[in-house]
Structure 1
Amino acid sequence: MTAGSALLAFDGSHIDGSLFTSITDLARDTRWLNGFVEWWTNVQLGVFAVLMVVGWWRARRRDGAAMTLALAVPVSVGVAFACAEVVKKIVAEQRPCRSLPHAFIVETCPVPNDYAFPSGHTTVAAASVAALFLLDRRLSAIAVLFAVLEGFTRVYVGAHYPHDVIGSALLALPVAYLTSLALRRLATPAVTRLRERLPIPLLVAADHRPSDGEPVRPADPTHATRATPPAHATPSDHSTPSERATRATQSPPSHGPGRHARR
């Protein structure tokens, strides 16, 4: 198949061009928002980086498998992005700004060989969702919200068709998820051993407590708990021998019952 036939076969304007123009018409009606959205659609990728850092920070207090998943998140995102770039070269879909020159486009039209399908930004967002899902469900839920917003802003600024965004998610989610699963299975033993031999803050927190299955480090003998001395059964007399002798001489002699002293 030639490049020209590929362009004709995957021209987004024939797939969901009407939906695309509906969203870009919204951008035309909200020109006051264009500048911010164009800025945010790129800066928003930093949110996923922050979520990755938070996941890694929490994993320092968890077991080796969690730390492996934390380290695997950026790797999984990178693998998904690389796959998307390969697909992008194969499909070679023109950007909307070239297929629909009369549509309202916020973002500057890229060079002709910068193709549309799939969306690289959305690939990063969706891959982050999948990789974080295995590490921390709460962080993944936050990532979902920003991923949806990322996909919408890519269409809003006119950089991608809706199917570019959807296709990115369908590609990135399984790739990132399976990559993280594979890395957890293959690399957890190595990461666990590294945490034992090199307990630096990058891999393990100072207050980390080993979970079941993790070896427990020997306790520091300087912090060993001292045994509690046994309690005395009865109170003892702490007076000195001379004091006891003085008390004995001052005490009157005891007399048996019925006896009286005679002069």
Structure 2
Amino acid sequence: MAGLGREGTNPDVSLLQDINGLARSAPPWFNRAMEFAGEYGIIIALVLLMLWCCWTVRRLGDERESVSALAALVWTPFAAGAALLVNMPIRDFVERPRPFAEHQGIQVLARGETGFSFVSDHATLAMALGVGLFMAHRRIGFAAIGLALVEGYCRVYLGGHYPTDVVGGFALGTAVTLLFAPLALALLTPPLTALARSRRARRLVRSRRAVARSGRREQDCEQELERHETGLAA
């Protein structure tokens, strides 16, 4: 299947040339910024979003909601790793060469790229992280998915991948994250719930403020129940 993406009327190649061709007229500093973003920057930003999401979900007042979100967050890096492992045999089976190895005139900004092109590891990793964060926290997840889309654009701009390599990576990262999520959450939720209810270890799962707020809520519920029972007895 090594013939994918050769010259002709292939829209995949045309879109690659349109996007990558923008690098010709772009200033050098912009190309360097795109190179950093496509190779490392966006992945670093996604990791920082994971840390922000962890800080956010630990502060949720509802214990069940907090534990559920944290379980999804814990699953996220494992999902990304699993998606990359699944991609290894796919790349070896398809054997699609890199665009710059197949077409003349490609602006090669992705330095040191080796191996086959389909599916893009960067796109797979970014979307797996984005979908996992969306499962944990909707607003943060939207931002993460947006970053994943930018990552895909960067990979084409740098000349390291065809657009379909990126789309395949998005599909693979999403599929692996969602397909195994029910099993992962079923395994992660019980131990995280036990940690949340442990006096010594619960701060690993929930912040001090969230625990205090939850405790006040439970106390208010108990007082309301007592007043209701007293009213019935009278």
TM range (shorter): 0.7 to 0.9
Aligned amino acid, residue 31 of structure 2: N
Partner of residue 253, structure 1: none
Between the two proteins, the alignment pairs up a number of residues equal to 206
The 1-side partners of 2:170 and 2:36 are apart by 22
Shift, 1:65, TM fit: 1.9
Q: Among residues 44, 53, 56, which one is paired with 1:55 in the alignment?
A: 53
Say whether the 8 Å CA contact 1:97–1:109 is kept in structure 2: no
Aligned amino acid, residue 208 of structure 2: A
Partner of residue 28, structure 1: 24
The 2-side partners of 1:199 and 1:179 are apart by 27
The 2-side partners of 1:134 and 1:211 are apart by 24
Partner of residue 187, structure 1: 188
Say whether the 8 Å CA contact 1:52–1:74 is kept in structure 2: no
Aligned amino acid, residue 61 of structure 1: R
Partner of residue 161, structure 1: 162
Partner of residue 108, structure 2: 105
Partner of residue 260, structure 1: none
Partner of residue 46, structure 1: 44
Shift, 1:179, TM fit: 2.7
The 2-side partners of 1:21 and 1:169 are apart by 21
The 2-side partners of 1:65 and 1:144 are apart by 20
Say whether the 8 Å CA contact 2:23–2:107 is kept in structure 1: yes
Aligned amino acid, residue 76 of structure 2: V
Q: Deviations over 1:77-114 (max 9, x none)?
A: 21122212231222111001101133222222533xx1
Structure 2 residue 203 is matched with structure 1 residue 201: yes
Say whether the 8 Å CA contact 2:100–2:160 is kept in structure 1: yes
Give the 3-state SS of the residue equivalent to 1:209 in structure 2.
helix
Partner of residue 232, structure 2: none
The 2-side partners of 1:158 and 1:146 are apart by 19
The 2-side partners of 1:123 and 1:179 are apart by 15
Structure 2 residue 117 is matched with structure 1 residue 116: yes
Shift, 1:191, TM fit: 1.5
Give the 3-state SS of the residue equivalent to 2:211 in structure 1.
coil
Q: Which moved more, 1:39-48 or 1:53-62?
A: 53-62
Structure 2 residue 138 is matched with structure 1 residue 143: no
Give the 3-state SS of the residue equivalent to 1:102 in structure 2.
coil
Partner of residue 7, structure 1: 2
Give the unaligned 5+ runs of structure 1.
Answer: 1-5, 218-263
The 2-side partners of 1:205 and 1:124 are apart by 29
Shift, 1:211, TM fit: 9.6
Say whether the 8 Å CA contact 1:96–1:158 is kept in structure 2: yes
Aligned amino acid, residue 117 of structure 1: F
The 2-side partners of 1:79 and 1:187 are apart by 16
Q: Which has the larger radius of gyration?
A: 1
The 2-side partners of 1:182 and 1:211 are apart by 31
Give the 3-state SS of the residue equivalent to 2:203 in structure 1.
coil
Q: Among residues 74, 77, 80, which one is paired with 1:77 in the alignment?
A: 80
Give the unaligned 5+ runs of structure 2.
Answer: 220-234
The 2-side partners of 1:141 and 1:177 are apart by 16
The 1-side partners of 2:76 and 2:96 are apart by 29
C-alpha distance 200-13 of structure 1, shift in aligned 2 (>3 A): farther
Aligned amino acid, residue 94 of structure 1: P
The 2-side partners of 1:129 and 1:12 are apart by 31
The 2-side partners of 1:108 and 1:97 are apart by 11
TM-score, normalising length from structure 1?
0.71
